[in-house]
Amino acid sequence: MNLLIDVGNNYLKWALVENGHWDGGFSTAIPDGRTGLFDSCWGRLTTPQRIVASNVRGEGFKSELSDWCQSQWRVTPEFLEPAASAYGIVNSYHDPQQLGPDRWAALIGARALADGVVVVVDCGTAITVDTLSADNVFLGGAILPGLTLAGECLLVSTRGIGASSAATISVFGRSTAECVSSGVNYGLAGGIDRLVGEIEKALNQDLSLYLTGGDAVRVQPLLKSQSRLEPELVLKGLLEALNSL
């Protein structure tokens, strides 16, 4: 059995893979105090053969995870790191190592799902829009604030709004909270659609659009662009990397 781990800004996700069988859908919020976090997630698992992880929370979390895996199983996690060229993909970032490992993993996973031009939209704390060319060059991307972050920034930076969250999303918001919710959701969805349109115009090619991340299910219904939901795209990219390492 192999353990795949996606360490995000706010959530820890993982999947188990054994003899080609995928067992996923596991997720938990990362608390400020992390005592017992790894025990609660994996304390009852049998020892994995390999552990492959993507980590965006820095060296401190990486060390904690590595120490726990060593103590629990005597297995050292393998952390995916972006490179100038790896897994058949060329990275066009000026400094390839500045690319987030989650974005790198998602591109690897997307390429396994489709040929041609691929665009990956990851809707998490931030929304990233990344493009992979038909000849496997990561051309670059764009970053927007995520839904929650955008709403919080508006409330913190604007006097007199003081709105709480609202479930209603309508172009006719009838409370301040509804107006904020509608503006953020439709605005970010419109931004994604505009970026996708500009990518199509620049490349003059059809593309496959994949949505992933915790807010993807909220964003997808608001998009005009045709898209496919892949909530575990980062983990699927880690599996592709594992098979190549």
Q: Which distant-in-sequence residues (6+ apart) come within 8 Å of 191 by Cβ?
A: 127, 144
> Catalytic annotation on 102?
yes
Instruction: Map tokens 């058949």 to a residue.
Output: 88
Structure tokens at 20: 């080609």
Yes or no: say if 152 and 161 are a contact pair by the CB < 8 Å rule: no
Q: Among 6, 102, 130, 215, which one carries the catalytic annotation?
A: 102
Q: From residue 35, how far is each of 28, 39, 45 by CA, in Å? A: 14, 9, 18
Q: Which distant-in-sequence residues (6+ apart) come within 8 Å of 193 by Cβ?
A: 223, 224, 225
Alpha-helix runs per DSSP H in the chain: 37-42, 58-73, 101-113, 147-157, 176-203, 216-219, 233-244
Yes or no: say if 171 and 179 are a contact pair by the CB < 8 Å rule: no
User: How many C-beta neighbours within 10 Å does residue 43 have?
Assistant: 10
Active site residues: 102
